[in-house]
């Protein structure tokens, strides 16, 4: 997730901007830049790489001025590079823009601007904003009006900082979906994506609300709603320390990332949905060609590690149900050494949050050596996987800092569900009317995730009674059996409790021998046709002394006699339920870790990116 900063005051803006950007490094980035007005022109310095590289560039090519904006970029549109780094300028270099978020209609706007003769320099969605502001500025000669008109045309999410050479006494800032704060100093004011960036200078901030616009001068700040009406807000006095401020007030990154899921699921889904009359009617993957190959696909092969592998296991159920095409899922470390059978007409998918996992990369290379076209699902633009795969579908989840994957997993599921729906539609294994019905339901998933996050009391209560259990087993059937794998991994990673997943029907074939009074069994139950069978499994373990916890959307009381605690989740199509049912399990793992005194962000023995075998 990008970081934005801005400064107007009496100091030299350059060191203030770089210093503020350093406080946003925790957000993750791949390039950085600043734009400073030096009294005559807007000068830009930007580079691919770390802030150190930017500092080295500035040391050689100094810029001074008391007005500027800065940015750390986490690539979404276009690879990490000097050119794609922010700030971006209009053609004459008189308007500079930094942006955090995703402009969903950028391709349409870019085509239109190009038809008006505008020449683009970068591959970013952000450059559209600089040219669009310029377009409106030429009519109004008023930078505030130009920004207001521009944001009205943007679909998607944005936090913006804008400089205009003709108005060297102000910075314009605006936001929708992405965070943006205004820091209030004495004869100086700031903008930033997050509070830590300004804490060294001030503790008084405005938190901008949806679609609000701020105009910052040296000695005051004016605030407006989206229609340009002036508004009054009370500043907030921050009394957190820097480290809790970085986590947005959450105690840990893992908890913050769990709570980011409604937003990042929207970011991953919305730009790929085609809307008509307010309703989604189609899916478009601009990055993929849904040609004869997908239509005629005889087999899909999915290879990944850890959590990404679990997303692949869920996808097997989804693809097979919707698109009626067989799916083989394999862990990359096994796949690479088992002389796998590969066919040129396979749809071959690797999944990797980091895009740097050694075994996944080896599997990708093996497939390519065998002439197989590889599609990657990854979160990291510019990663090795993204560079070596033939096609890339990005999960726009933003950087995941906690070692235990949460938002990367659900956004991987979102991409896989969308691929399965599109494949089913073109293969005609679902009807046109079902396709639209499923798209509407898909569009509601982020809101349903939000609902789960708003009610954590029963999970916390259950954790407080069970965080010391010796063994935790996760069971389920069908989709829920796949989800159980990820539930068990999450719990063992951060709580160090012994946890395993079993297909519920397998209990009697061995695992039930382990059940005793020191066992907790967590059942995920989202497939109504299988409630009865699962309820019998729960009763079997309960009668042998286990405590039981059920995650379900059921309203009929199917589990009232077998469950010690039930966590209700919203209902949806069964193939979308894994995006919902994992949320209570993520929270369960997080709270168990905290109760046991562990740091969930940095579990023992684990690394975020496994770049060696
Ligand atoms: O970056 P990748 O998705 O390729 O990583 C794969 C696994 O190492 C990763 O999912 C790991 O299992 C996480 N710690 C899970 O929380």
Mean pLDDT score, 368-389: 92
Q: How far is the CA of 337 from the centre of ligand 1 (A)?
A: 20
Token duo for residue 226: 């989206």
pLDDT, position 2: 85
Q: Mean pLDDT, to the nearest integer, of 511-534?
A: 95
Tokens 């956004």 locate to 411
Question: Which ligand 1 atom is the nearest neighbour of the CA of 378?
Answer: 3
Phi-psi region of 523 (alpha: psi -120 to 50; beta: other; left: phi over 0): beta
Average pLDDT over residues 194-215: 92
Report the C-alpha gap between 550 and 565 in whole angstroms.
Answer: 6
Query: Which residue CA neighbors atom 12 of ligand 1 most closely?
Result: 306
CA 357 to centroid of ligand 1, rounded, Å: 8
180 SS3 class: coil
Report which ligand 1 atom has the smallest distance to the Cα of 305: 6
CA of 308 to the centre of ligand 1 (A): 6
Q: Which ligand 1 atom minimizes the distance to the CA of 404?
A: 16
- Does 602 sit behind a cis peptide bond, omega within 30 degrees of 0 on the bond before it? no
| Residue 240 reports pLDDT greater than 90 | no
| Burial 594-611, CB ≥16 within 10 A → b, else e | beeebebbbbeeeebebe
Long-range contacts of 431-436 (CB under 8 A, 24+ apart): 436/279, 436/280, 436/281
490 CA from centroid of ligand 1 (Å): 11
Q: How far is the CA of 121 from the centre of ligand 1 (A)?
A: 35
Q: Is the pLDDT of residue 329 over 80?
A: yes
Check pLDDT > 90 for residue 249.
no
Query: Which among 258, 305, 395, 501 is the best mutation to test ligand 1's pocket, defined by most ligand atoms within 8 Å of the CB?
Result: 305
Cβ–Cβ under 8 Å, residues 295 and 461: no
CA dihedral for 534, 540, 541, 545, sign (positive or negative) = positive
Vertex 69, ends 66 and 74: CA angle to 5°? Answer: 155
Q: Are strands 273-276 and 279-283 parallel, antiparallel or unpaired?
A: antiparallel
Do the strands 374-378 and 347-352 form a parallel or antiparallel pair, or are they unpaired?
parallel
145 CA distance to ligand 1 centroid (A)? Answer: 46
The closest-lying atom of ligand 1 relative to the alpha carbon of residue 354 is 1
Please tell me the predicted confidence (pLDDT) of residue 99.
95
Q: Which of 309, 335, 357 to mutate to test the pocket of ligand 1 (most atoms within 8 A of CB)?
A: 357
Percent share of the chain, pLDDT over 70: 99
How far is it, in rounded angstroms, from Cα 545 to Cα 539? 10
Q: Is 2 a catalytic residue?
A: yes
Find the 367 Cα to ligand 1 centroid distance in Å: 21
Of the residues 353, 392, 406, which should be mutated to test ligand 1's pocket, given the most ligand atoms within 8 Å of the CB?
Answer: 353
Q: Which residue's structure tokens are 């010690």? A: 564
CA distance 583 to 409: 11
Using pLDDT thresholds of 50, 70 and 90, give the confidence band for residue 584. very high
Catalytic residue among 436, 492, 568, 608: 608
Q: How far apart are CA 253 and CA 249, in angstroms?
A: 10
Residues with CB under 6 A from ligand 1: 305-308, 352-354, 357, 360, 403-405, 493, 606, 609-610
221's CB contacts (< 8 A; 6+ apart) are 182, 184, 189, 206, 214, 215
- The pLDDT tens digits of the residues spanning 395-431 come to 999 888 899 999 999 999 999 999 999 999 999 999 9
Please tell me the residue having the least CA distance from ligand 1 atom 4: 352
46 counts as catalytic: no
* Residues 375, 381, 385, 388, Cα dihedral to 10°: 80
Mean local confidence (pLDDT), 9-33: 92
Tally of CB atoms within 10 A around 49: 16
User: Residue of the nearest CA to atom 9 in ligand 1?
Assistant: 306
Dist. CA 383 → ligand 1 center (Å): 15
Cα 191 from Cα 474, distance rounded (Å): 46
- In a 3-state reduction of DSSP, which class is residue 329? strand
Average pLDDT of the residues in 107-132: 95
Share of the chain above pLDDT 90, in %: 85
Q: Is the dihedral of CA 555, 556, 560, 563 positive or negative?
A: negative
Residue 214's nearest CA partner among 140, 143, 153 is: 143
Which of 307, 336, 413 should be mutated for ligand 1, with most atoms under 8 A from CB?
Answer: 307
Two structure tokens written together for 437: 């019905």
Name the token pair of 412: 């991987």
Q: How far apart are CA 302 and CA 5, in angstroms?
A: 41
Q: Is residue 242 pLDDT above 80, yes or no?
A: no
CA 392/CA 138 separation, integer angstroms? 38
Greater pLDDT, 234 or 96: 96
Q: How far apart are CA 467 and CA 385, in angstroms?
A: 38
- What is the mean predicted confidence (pLDDT) over 208-219? 95
Is 154 exposed, middle or buried, given 0-12, 13-18 or 19+ CB atoms closer than 10 A? buried
Sheet order of strands, 327-331 included = 327-331, 300-304, 347-352, 374-378, 391-394
Residue 243 has pLDDT above 80, yes or no: no
Active-site option among 2, 178, 305, 415? 2
Highest mean pLDDT among 244-253, 486-495, 596-605: 486-495
Instruction: State which ligand 1 atom lies nearest to the alpha carbon of 609.
Output: 1
Tell me what pLDDT residue 27 has. Answer: 78
Write the DSSP symbol of residue 383: -
Are 44 and 89 in contact by the 8 Å Cβ rule? The answer is yes
Per-residue pLDDT reduced to its tens digit, 253-275: 999 999 999 999 999 999 999 99
Q: What is the mean pLDDT of residues 50-75?
A: 95
Q: Which residue has the tokens 């969903």?
A: 104
Locate the ligand 1 atom nearest the alpha carbon of residue 408 and give its number. 3
The minimum-distance atom of ligand 1 relative to the CA of 385 is: 4
- Planar angle of CA 107, 112, 116, nearest 5 degrees: 145
How far, in Å, from the CA of 75 to the mean position of ligand 1? 20
Q: Which residue's CA is the nearest one to ligand 1's atom 14?
A: 404
Cα–ligand 1 centroid distance for 152 (angstroms): 39
User: Dmax of the chain from CA atoms?
Assistant: 80
Instruction: Please state the atom number of ligand 1 nearest to the C-alpha of residue 603.
Output: 14
Residues 6+ apart with CB under 8 A from 509: none
Strands 189-192 and 3-8 come out as antiparallel
Query: What residue ranges define each of the domains in the chain, with the CATH number in brackets?
Result: 3-239 (3.60.20.10), 247-443 (3.40.50.10490), 457-596 (3.40.50.10490)
Q: Does pLDDT of 18 surpass 90?
A: yes
**Mean pLDDT in residue range 475-495:** 97
Question: In angstroms, rounded to a whole number, what is the distance separating the alpha carbons of residues 369 and 505?
Answer: 39
Average pLDDT over the chain, rounded to an integer: 94
pLDDT category, 244, cuts 50, 70, 90? low
Beta strand 391-394 with 374-378 is parallel
Query: What average pLDDT does range 117-124 have in this prediction?
Result: 94
**Which of 253, 254, 306 is the pocket-test mutation for ligand 1 (most atoms within 8 Å of CB)?**
306
Nearest CA to ligand 1 atom 7: 306
- Find the helix or strand (DSSP H, E) in which 373 lies: none
* Contact indicator for 202, 23 with CB cutoff of 8 Å: no
464 three-class SS = helix
The radius of gyration of the chain from alpha carbons, rounded to an integer in Å, stands at: 25
């Amino acid at each position: 997730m990008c970081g934005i900063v801005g400064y107007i005051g009496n100091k030299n803006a350059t060191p203030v901007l770089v210093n503020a950007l350093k406080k946003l490094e925790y957000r993750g980035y791949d390039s950085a830049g600043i734009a400073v007005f030096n009294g005559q022109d807007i000068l830009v310095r930007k580079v691919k790489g770390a802030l150190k590289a930017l500092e080295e560039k500035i040391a050689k090519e100094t810029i001074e001025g008391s007005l500027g904006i800065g940015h750390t970029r986490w690539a979404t549109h276009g690879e990490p590079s000097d050119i794609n780094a922010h700030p971006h300028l209009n053609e004459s270099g008189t308007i500079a823009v930094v942006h955090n978020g995703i402009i969903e209609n950028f391709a349409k706007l870019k085509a239109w601007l190009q038809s008006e003769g505008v020449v683009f320099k970068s591959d970013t969605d952000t450059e559209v904003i600089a040219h669009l502001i310029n377009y409106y500025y030429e009519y109004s000669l008023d930078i505030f009006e130009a920004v207001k008109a521009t944001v009205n045309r943007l679909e998607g999410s944005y936090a913006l900082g804008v400089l205009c050479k003709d108005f060297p006494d102000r910075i314009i800032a605006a936001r929708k979906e992405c965070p943006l704060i205004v820091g209030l100093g004495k004869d100086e004011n700031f903008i930033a994506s997050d509070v830590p960036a300004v804490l060294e200078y001030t503790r008084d901030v405005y938190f901008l609300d949806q679609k609000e616009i701020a105009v910052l001068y040296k000695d005051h700040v004016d605030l407006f709603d989206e229609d340009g009406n002036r508004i009054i807000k009370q500043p907030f006095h921050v009394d957190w320390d820097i480290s809790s401020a970085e986590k947005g007030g959450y105690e840990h990154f893992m908890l913050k990332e769990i709570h980011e899921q409604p937003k990042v699921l929207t970011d991953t889904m919305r730009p790929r949905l085609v809307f008509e009359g307010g309703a989604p009617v189609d899916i478009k993957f601009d990055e993929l060609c849904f040609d004869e190959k997908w239509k005629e696909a005889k087999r899909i092969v999915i290879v990944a590690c850890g959590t990404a592998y679990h997303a692949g296991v869920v996808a097997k159920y989804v693809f097979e149900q919707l698109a009626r095409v067989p799916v083989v899922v394999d862990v990359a470390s096994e796949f690479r050494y088992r002389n796998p059978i590969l066919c040129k007409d396979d749809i071959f998918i690797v999944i990797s949050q980091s895009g740097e996992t050694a075994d996944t990369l080896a599997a990708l290379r093996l497939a390519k050596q065998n002439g197989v076209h590889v599609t990657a699902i990854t979160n990291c633009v510019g990663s090795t996987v993204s560079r070596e795969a033939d096609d890339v579908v990005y999960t726009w989840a933003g950087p995941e800092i906690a070692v235990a994957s949460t938002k990367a997993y659900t956004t991987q599921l979102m991409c896989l569900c969308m691929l399965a729906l599109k494949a089913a539609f073109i293969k005609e294994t679902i009807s046109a009317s079902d396709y639209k019905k499923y798209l509407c339901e898909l569009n509601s998933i982020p809101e349903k995730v939000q609902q789960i996050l708003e009610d954590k009391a029963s999970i916390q209560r259950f954790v407080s009674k069970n965080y010391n259990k010796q063994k935790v087993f996760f069971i389920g059937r069908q989709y829920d059996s796949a989800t159980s794998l990820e539930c068990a991994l999450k719990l063992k990673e951060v709580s160090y409790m012994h946890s395993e997943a079993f297909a519920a029907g397998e209990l009697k074939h061995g695992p039930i021998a382990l059940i005793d009074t020191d066992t907790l069994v967590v059942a995920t139950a989202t497939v109504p046709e299988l409630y009865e069978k699962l309820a019998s499994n729960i009763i079997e373990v309960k009668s042998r002394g286990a405590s039981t916890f059920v995650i379900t959307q059921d309203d009929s009381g199917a589990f009232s006699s077998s469950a010690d605690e039930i966590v209700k989740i919203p209902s949806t199509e069964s193939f979308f339920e894994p995006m919902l049912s994992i949320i209570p399990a993520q929270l369960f793992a997080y709270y168990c870790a905290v109760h046991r005194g562990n740091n969930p962000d940095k579990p023992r023995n684990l690394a975020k990116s496994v770049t060696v075998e």
